[in-house]
Amino acid sequence: MINTVYRLVAPGMIDVACTEPDLRRSILLRPEYLSICKADQRYYLGNRSREALKAKLPMALIHECVARVIYDPTGTHRPGEFVVPVPNMPTEKDDVIAENYLPTSHFCSSGYDGFLRDYIDFDPARVVTVPDGVDLKVASFTELISVAVHAVSRFDRFAHARRGFVGVWGDGNVGFITALMLKAMHPETKVYVFGTVYEKLNYFTFADGIYHVDHVPDGLQVDHAFECVGGEPSRYAIAQIIDRIRPEGVIGLMGVSESPVSINTRMVLEKGLQLFGSSRSGLQDFERTVQLLHTQPKLVGYLENIIGSVVDVRTIADIHAAFAQDISRNFGKTVMKWDK
């Protein structure tokens, strides 16, 4: 079958291409809602190195979406069912290294086509059913939520048992979702959020404390921390975390930076800290995320609040309009209703 794919061919330029999915092997999904990620925006704006753009384009953007099952040759999923496809595509099995850290894994909208397609043709084993009742616009950014769930799962693995106070640095989407999922998975833990914009911090009503980074009370300390700032400012966040964290705490690094970030290693050594990186997520994280959204419906309510806008997409011009809206927003998610 011929499938239509909407590819970024150069920054700001989207063009039509066609692929040929194999009906005997692929499940066919029809995108329902798609969500724009900052990584997509970096490609769209050309804010990646020339080498990266040359290596990865042309490709269809978007790796966050909820889709309707159209056709499943395996009969596992019934037509009409809503699912989220897992954009990480492992090509080998490893008993030690998680699928999202294997260098051989592929990733949709990072060198491989993302979900801006007429049909998403996919491995039937790599989609997760969305339970009835979960808001589909929220389900569209399940991938981002699963990244937070993955980071908290890694925290569970690495952090010592004293988890009374955990800090989350960053008042953007990743900070919001990480703090929310941390609280959902560790309700007894006091979650403190540190940011730079009070208007954004006011969204974190579920947190046990919100602090402007310039006005943190003297003596406030945390057992562990997550850095969700990214970019150049992440060095200030990491410095403040090292300053405020108690000995032997762990620091989860989640913010993406295009350039190297300096770290006060003297204090890392002195306090015996552990820093761990966390990036993307795998099938199990998606399954756990969907389960959490189903069993704790309050989470969906909080997550609905960060949907900045929903853009109907019937033309390529509408896709450009969605990206333009997204770049002008400093907080919240831009969701596209796919009607192309």
Partner 1 sequence: MVYAAVFAGGIGSRMGNSETPKQYLELGGKPIIIHTIEKFFVNDRIDAILVLCPKAWVSNTEDLIRKYLPAGKPVRVIPGGSTRNGTLEAAIAYLEANCDVDDATVLVTHDAVRPFLTHRIICENVEAAAAYGACDTVIPATDTIVESADGQSISSIPDRKRMFQGQTPQSFRLRELEQVLNSLTESEKASLTDACKIFTLKGKPVHMVQGEVFNIKITYPYDMKVADTLLKGKEHS
Residues of this chain that interact with partner 1 (CB under 8 A) are 1-2, 4-5, 7, 16-20, 23-24, 28, 30, 58-59, 70-71, 73, 79-80, 112-113, 118-119, 314, 339-340
Rg (CA), the chain: 20
Number of neighbours of residue 223 by Cβ within 10 angstroms: 21
39/36 Cα distance (integer angstroms): 8
* Cβ at position 37, least distance to partner 1 in Å: 19
What's the min distance (Å) between Cβ of 51 and partner 1? 17
Q: DSSP of 4-57, one letter per residue? A: EEEEEEETTEEEEEEE---TTT-EEEEEEEEE--HHHHHHHHT-S-HHHHHHH-
For partner 1, the closer CB: 4 or 202 = 4
Give whichever of 59 and 148 is closer to partner 1, judged by the CB atom: 59
Nearest Cα residue to 167 out of 209, 216, 222, 205: 222
Nearer to partner 1 among residue 5 and residue 159 (C-beta): 5
CB of 134 to partner 1, least distance (A): 22
- Minimum CB distance to partner 1, residue 54 (Å): 13
The residue (of 114 and 172) whose beta carbon lies closer to partner 1 is 114
Side-chain half-sphere CA neighbours of 318 within 13 A: 15
Looking at beta carbons only, is 246 or 340 nearer to partner 1? 340
Q: At what angle do helices 38-45 and 316-327 cross, to 10 degrees?
A: 110
Give the nearest distance from C-beta 15 to partner 1 in angstroms: 9
Cβ contact 212:192 at 8 Å = no
Pick 54 or 266: Cβ nearer partner 1: 54
Least distance in angstroms from the C-beta of 138 to partner 1: 24
